[in-house]
Amino acid sequence: MDESLSSLLTVREKIDSMDKQIVSLIQERARLVVQVGEIKKAKGEAIYRPDREREVYEKIKKQNTGPLPDSSLMAIYREIMSASIFLEKGMLIAYLGPEGSFSNQATRMRFGASVETVPFSSMPEVFRAVETGKADYGVVPIENSSEGLVNSTLDQFLLSDLLIYSEIYIKISLNLLGFENDLGKINKLYGIKIANSQCKNWISANLPHCEIIETPSTAKAAMVVSERKEGAAIASSIAAEIYGLNIIRESIEDLPNNSTRFLIIGKSQCLSTGNDKTSIVFSVPDKPGALYSALKPFFEKNINLTKVESRPTRKNSWEYNFFIDFYGHESDPQIEKVLSDLKATTTFFRVLGSYPASEPIL
């Protein structure tokens, strides 16, 4: 037998032996997961624990000696944990659809492929599904690195008692999808408002003649083009695969490193991990220095504010709600004191949730 062939067979035998061990260990891990699920059920604890998820990922990265990068190992473990959640109880995750939307992509990145998901056509429907128990959690966009906040999500938090349970950032790459490769023959352009805005310079330079038609999501834009066999859509490459469209032009967003932050919403709050964010909303009296008085405790305690935004209250003209994100967990003694001082200066105050902080994509 050729020496190189003999060496190849020897290596393959080793791989086969390792695969057998890996399968055995994964199944043994699954049996332990079932036990964990039974204990959680008896104690009334949540099945999905982003704090525990982070702990697992951190241990994986510390134990990784290569050659696979951390990202590859985390992707493998994401699916292992997704299957584990399915074994423990199974969950239903609501997201802003249809299938192929960036919310769908964020859902898969956070929960894996084993968890059952269901798309909804509007933000209120996603919130309602979680509120009524039709879904365990919801995934909604909250802000984009180039276009800012998704106001429809903020508005829902003022109408709902749901809490922010976790967050995730994903890179956004927008493509022109359709059947017609000649840009001069494309007369209609479908896309969600925020995506259209992210590509406005490219659209102006390449499709100035197009009628722009807004859709509820990028995936809906792709679906419409697929069904009507006309125009083009601004959407993801995943949407192109799902709806059978050609990628006419890739990465047409005006700014590189475009990313969107998504929130996982639910009825409970995550435990402190030591690296958390808290989101709150409040309004202040209409008098000089009111906002300064509200923010002063954060400065005095050296607490980093990561976002400060205002939205009209829609109750009285020129009155605003202020949405703030900052580092720390509501249960931290220092944060408790700051929030107590803040509450005393406001006319309306609500904690939207404390949750593990994720790293933005730069």
Residue 123 has pLDDT above 80, yes or no: yes
Alpha-carbon gap, residue 104 to 108, rounded angstroms: 6
Percent of the chain with pLDDT over 70: 94
Percent of the chain with pLDDT over 90: 47
Domains in the chain: boundaries: 17-87, 92-171, 175-249, 269-356
pLDDT for the residue 2: 61
Indicate the average pLDDT of the chain. Answer: 87
Which CATH number is associated with domain 92-171?
Answer: 3.40.190.10
Average pLDDT, integer, range 336-350: 92
Tens of pLDDT along 60-79? Answer: 888 888 888 888 887 888 77
Angle between helices 50-63 and 70-88 in degrees, nearest 10: 140
Residue 230 has pLDDT above 90, yes or no: yes
pLDDT for the residue 229: 94
pLDDT for the residue 313: 76
pLDDT for the residue 250: 94
| pTM (predicted TM-score) | 0.79
Candidate CATH numbers 3.30.1490.100, 3.40.50.2000, 3.30.70.260, 2.60.40.1240; the one for domain 269-356: 3.30.70.260
Q: What is the phi/psi pair of residue 174, to 5°?
A: -100, 140
Q: Which residue has the higher pLDDT, 209 or 9?
A: 209
Location of structure tokens 């001069």: 184
Half-sphere exposure of 355 (CA within 13 A, CB side): 25
Residue 84's nearest CA partner among 165, 19, 28 is: 28
Residue 247's nearest CA partner among 237, 257, 258, 256 is: 237
Alpha-carbon gap, residue 150 to 248, rounded angstroms: 28
Q: Which residue has the higher pLDDT, 55 or 140?
A: 140
Give the sign of the dihedral formed by CA 170, CA 171, CA 177, CA 183. Answer: positive
Which residues are catalytically annotated? 260, 262
pLDDT for the residue 169: 92
pLDDT for the residue 361: 61
Topology of the domain comprising 175-249: D-Maltodextrin-Binding Protein; domain 2 (3.40.190)
- Would you place residue 329 in the very low, low, confident or very high pLDDT band (cuts 50, 70, 90)? very high
Residue 173's nearest CA partner among 248, 257, 291, 98 is: 257
Residue 316 has pLDDT above 70, yes or no: no
In words, the CATH class of domain 17-87 is mainly alpha
pLDDT for the residue 1: 52
pLDDT for the residue 214: 93
Contact 26, 80 (CB under 8 A): yes
pLDDT for the residue 317: 67
pLDDT for the residue 5: 65
Residue 86 has pLDDT above 90, yes or no: no
Q: Which residue has the higher pLDDT, 61 or 184?
A: 184
pLDDT for the residue 90: 66
Q: What is the phi/psi pair of residue 215, to 5°?
A: -125, 165
Least confident of 62-76, 124-138, 262-276: 62-76
Same fold for the pair 17-87 and 269-356:
no
Least confident of 52-61, 180-189, 275-284, 340-349: 52-61
